[in-house]
């Protein structure tokens, strides 16, 4: 099942990489040729989409290795690290865009705005909208943090492209400062997307709770002979959770029977939450009041 998921996520990323390269190449080439700093900056933004796809593919190759002696919990956090690399790319492009836009404001000048300018931006915008929708659908279906983070990155590209089109219209009407001004707006969009991706990656890397304690307790206490539970802990990503908890059983219960009850608890939890990769059940008598 995991191999199948890996293959599907990888296939989605390769298709998205191809489309992102087309978008980035078109924007960069036209931006250089026309001197339109907003299009050029948006091209750099799109280029980081492609670079993050490459980083994601490399990260996934490591993430789906089976557990080994040095990594008994597996390598899935490498997928989250790859998502964090996407946030790093966003910081790099944010600095590049800000520097270029400020230089244009200082030096002045106006780009050449033609019908081709609008055509390039509208076509690439349509491609980006398609990419965001397709990647989000795949991310939800496959429960992939990586695809959702990459879709969020591309979504920021959609917003910046809309802003660039507005800047082109303003420049054509005689307001050339809109070109570098919108490039600075791009910086804000990029920074927001980077923050959200970094925040989600930090939640996984810092072992933030994944499944509510109350939800786990409700499932566990529905099992016959279970008197209660505590010390419930969960960690991992949305689709790969490790869970451990202490289950209270009658202290006079025979060991074999207690063992069978613990397996029933584990099986029920993994049926209710298929994203659980493993659950460790500790058996103990209820605390004395």
289 falls within a domain: no
**Residue pLDDT, tens place only, 3-37:** 676 778 888 888 889 998 999 899 888 888 877 87
Residues 201 and 225 in one domain: no
pLDDT at 265: 95
Going by pLDDT thresholds of 50, 70 and 90, the confidence category of residue 248 is very high
pLDDT at 30: 84
What share of the chain in percent tops pLDDT 90?
26
**Residue pLDDT, tens place only, 190-244:** 787 778 878 888 888 888 899 999 999 999 999 999 999 999 999 988 778 999 9
Residues 162 and 189 in one domain: yes
Domain assignment of residue 270, given as a range: 213-284
Residues 65 and 151 in one domain: yes
Residues 136 and 255 in one domain: no
pLDDT at 139: 85
**Residue pLDDT, tens place only, 136-148:** 888 888 877 778 8
- CATH number (domain holding residue 256): 3.30.70.1350
Residues 122 and 39 in one domain: yes
106-112 average pLDDT score: 70
Residues 71 and 36 in one domain: yes
8 falls within a domain: yes
Going by pLDDT thresholds of 50, 70 and 90, the confidence category of residue 109 is low
Going by pLDDT thresholds of 50, 70 and 90, the confidence category of residue 262 is very high
Residues 270 and 253 in one domain: yes
Residues 137 and 252 in one domain: no
- CATH number (domain holding residue 144): 1.20.1510.10
Does the pTM exceed 0.85? no
**Residue pLDDT, tens place only, 147-173:** 887 787 777 778 778 888 888 888 888
pLDDT for 132 beyond 70? yes
**Residue pLDDT, tens place only, 277-287:** 889 999 999 98
Last residue of a domain, one of 205, 229, 244: 205
Residues 199 and 259 in one domain: no
Instruction: Report d(CA 115, CA 32) in Å as an integer.
Output: 16
Last residue of a domain, one of 177, 205, 233: 205
Residues 13 and 118 in one domain: yes
Residues 155 and 77 in one domain: yes
* Average pLDDT across the chain, whole number: 84
Residues 82 and 52 in one domain: yes
> What is the number of structural domains in the chain?
2
pLDDT at 3: 60
Last residue of a domain, one of 137, 172, 205: 205
239 falls within a domain: yes
């Amino acid at each position: 099942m995991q191999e199948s998921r890996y293959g599907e996520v990888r296939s989605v990323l390769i298709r998205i990489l191809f489309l992102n390269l087309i978008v980035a190449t078109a924007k960069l080439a036209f931006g250089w040729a026309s001197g339109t700093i907003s299009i050029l900056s948006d091209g750099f933004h799109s280029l980081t989409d492609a670079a993050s796809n490459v980083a994601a593919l490399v990260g996934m190759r490591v993430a789906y290795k089976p557990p080994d002696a040095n990594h008994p919990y597996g390598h899935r956090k490498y997928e989250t690290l790859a998502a964090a690399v996407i946030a790093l790319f966003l910081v790099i492009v944010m600095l590049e865009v800000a520097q270029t836009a400020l230089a244009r404001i200082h030096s002045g000048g106006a780009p050449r705005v033609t019908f081709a300018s609008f055509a390039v931006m509208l076509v690439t915008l349509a491609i980006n909208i398609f990419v965001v929708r397709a990647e989000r659908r795949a991310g939800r279906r496959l429960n992939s943090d990586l695809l959702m983070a990459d879709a969020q990155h591309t979504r920021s590209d959609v917003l910046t492209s809309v802003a660039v089109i507005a800047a082109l219209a303003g420049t054509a009407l005689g307001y050339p400062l809109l070109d570098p001004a919108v490039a600075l707006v791009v910086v804000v969009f990029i920074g927001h997307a980077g923050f959200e991706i970094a925040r989600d990656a930090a939640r996984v890397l810092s072992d933030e709770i994944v499944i509510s304690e109350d939800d786990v307790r409700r499932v566990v206490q529905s099992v016959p002979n279970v008197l209660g539970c505590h010390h419930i802990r969960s960690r991992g990503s949305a689709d790969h959770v490790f869970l451990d908890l202490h289950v209270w059983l009658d202290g006079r219960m025979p060991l074999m029977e207690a063992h069978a009850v613990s397996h029933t608890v584990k099986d029920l939890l993994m049926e209710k939450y298929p994203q659980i990769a493993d659950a460790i059940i500790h058996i103990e008598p209820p605390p004395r009041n």
